[in-house]
Amino acid sequence: MIEGPRPVRPNEYRSLLKLVNRTFIGSPGERGMESLYPWHLSSENRRNLWVTVENGKVVSHVGVSKRALAVDGVRIPLGLMSAVATDPAYRGAGLASRIIEVLRSRHDREGLDLYFISGDRGLYRRIGAVPVGRRLHFVLTPAALGLFAHPDVSFRPAGPRDLAAIAALHAREPVRILRPVADFRRVFRAGWAVLSPARFFVAEAGGRVTAYFVAGVTRKAGGPQSGRLVVVEHAGSRTDLLAALHAACLAWGKRRVELTVSPHERESLALLSGRHLGERHVPVYDAIAILNLERLIRRLRPVLAKRAGPAGRRLEGGEFNFKPFLALGASRVAVPREVMTRLIFGEPTRDRPPGVRADGALGRVLRAGFPIPLANPGISYV
Ligand SMILES: CC(C)(COP(=O)(O)OP(=O)(O)OC[C@H]1O[C@@H](n2cnc3c(N)ncnc32)[C@H](O)[C@@H]1OP(=O)(O)O)[C@@H](O)C(=O)NCCC(=O)NCCS
């Protein structure tokens, strides 16, 4: 008999790991997902690992880590959805869709406003998830980084004692994933971030840690990947970060550094943009779903007021006849779910949000208030 969707039970946890490891890792003997992404898939997060079970065997799984997005002082609770898998013999029967449907209404009731989903497919599109949010990608050569070299800035691998300073630097980013300090420790110990082995490095100036970056390293030697250095998360002083990346390039003989920058990182853009430093927009492969538009807009009001003036505080969101709308007094715009998500968080490869016809005060709030910047999940990515 098929049971679920429900959280995995302690006696089913091994069966769940078998499913996700067979799906995403393949060869036995490699480290399992629970060791690579402990905050997501370890038994500590068991209550958020939802499954369908047949005769004690886990046949479908959707995992969620509950975190929040911080935007200019506003906190938006969200779920990072990942490690979604169905046993090949059970695929196409709607099991994963069913778990996601159940989770969506449950998480809405619990107060989560968004899902950050690792992936973009029909399964997620059905709950309105779309790739949104702009990201810029810079491919920097050592010569280009030479612009930022500074003799007073050095870099070194981070040790466990640096993690408090690293978390404090991250906490100063105005747009970020709010995560417990324990997450930094878990990633540090796991030595794995995004999709590869990774290590933390710190930049120091005047004997103080002023920036950090997390970069992919090679599996065997634990040193940086040959040829290129891929930075998966960074924070702190951008001038010191770039000086440290230059020093790292020289120390490791790198030919290029790959750095992803969000449009809200004004300091990074002021330093890097328009200098022919290999800048390009990159497609976003992950999707965002809004779970509760009304609550999301209410939470965003202080940000909207800062950007669009007092009228921003009066913007309302909601849904009528399954169509999401935004309203200011008597004026309103109603658009399909995906268009609404793109309007609020911006298109991945365009500066301007989708054209939505709205005049007067509503039009002004929409143009000045959106897009809302999104944080790159960085080390919280599974
Ligand atoms: C992706 C994956 C989790 C889907 O699991 P699933 O339980 O088969 O998902 P569903 O059955 O709910 O939906 C799968 C497809 O079957 C179709 N389907 C759903 N219910 C159906 C039904 N009752 N009858 C026939 N087809 C159905 C859907 O159209 C869906 O296609 P779409 O997502 O492209 O729109 C599974 O294929 C898998 O484990 N893949 C490998 C790992 C992976 O890629 N994970 C996702 C990372 S982003």
In a domain, 379, yes or no: no
153 and 277 assigned to the same domain: yes
pLDDT tens for 61-99 read 999 999 999 999 999 999 999 999 999 999 999 999 999
Q: Is residue 123 part of a domain?
A: no
In this predicted model, what pLDDT tens digit does every residue of 116-165 receive, in sequence order?
999 999 999 999 999 998 888 898 999 999 999 999 999 999 999 999 99
Dist CA 302 CA 307 (whole Å):
9
Give the total number of structural domains in the chain. Answer: 3
| Per-residue pLDDT tens digits for 187-217 | 999 999 998 899 999 999 999 999 999 998 8
Task: For residues 230 and 255, give the distance between their C-alpha atoms in angstroms, rounded to a whole number.
Answer: 11
Q: Let me know whether 169 and 250 are in one domain.
A: yes
How far, in Å, from the CA of 23 to the mean position of ligand 1? 13
Q: Which of the two residues, 217 and 7, has the higher pLDDT score?
A: 7
DSSP string, 96-138: HHHHHHHHHHHHHHHT--EEEES--SHHHHTTT-B--S--EEE
Residue at 325 is within a domain: yes
Same-domain pairing of 34 and 165: no
| Mutation pick for ligand 1 pocket among 19, 123, 195, 284 (CB with most ligand atoms within 8 Å) | 123
CATH number of the domain residue 63 falls in? 3.40.630.30
Give me the domain span that covers residue 154.
Answer: 136-281
* 194 shares a domain with 317: no
Only one residue has tokens 């880590």, namely: 65
Over residues 355-363, the mean pLDDT reads 86
DSSP symbols for 128-167 = T-B--S--EEEEE-HHHHGGG--TTEEEEE--GGGHHHHH
Q: How many angstroms is it from 53 CA to the middle of ligand 1?
A: 16
Is pLDDT of 226 > 90? no
151 & 191 share domain: yes
Q: Are both 329 and 271 inside the same structural domain? A: no
Please tell me the residue having the least CA distance from ligand 1 atom 28.
92
Query: Same structural domain for residues 147 and 258?
Result: yes
Higher pLDDT, residue 100 or 253: 100
Cβ contacts of 121 within 8 Å, gap of 6 or more: none
User: What are the E-state strand segments in 269-353?
Assistant: 279-281, 287-290, 316-320, 323-328, 331-334
Tell me, yes or no, whether 381 lies in a domain.
no
| The pLDDT value given to residue 214 | 97
Share of residues in the chain with pLDDT > 70 (%)? 96
71: β partners: 74, 175
Residues 273 and 324 in one domain: no
CA of 349 to the centre of ligand 1 (A): 28
**pLDDT value of residue 208:** 96
* Percentages of the chain per state (helix, strand, coil), in multiples of 5: 40, 30, 30
159 within some domain: yes
**pTM for the full model?**
0.94
Cβ(119) to ligand 1 under 6 A?
yes
- Final residue belonging to a domain, choices 77, 112, 147: 112
Q: Is the C-beta atom of 84 inside 6 A of ligand 1?
A: yes
Pick from 281, 291, 296, 289: nearest CA to 369: 296
Residue 122 lies in a domain: no
Where does a domain end: 226, 253, 281? 281
* 93 Cα to the center of ligand 1, angstroms: 7
Query: In this predicted model, what pLDDT tens digit does every residue of 242-260 receive, in sequence order?
Result: 999 999 999 988 888 999 9
CA dihedral 92, 110, 288, 374 (to 10 degrees): -160
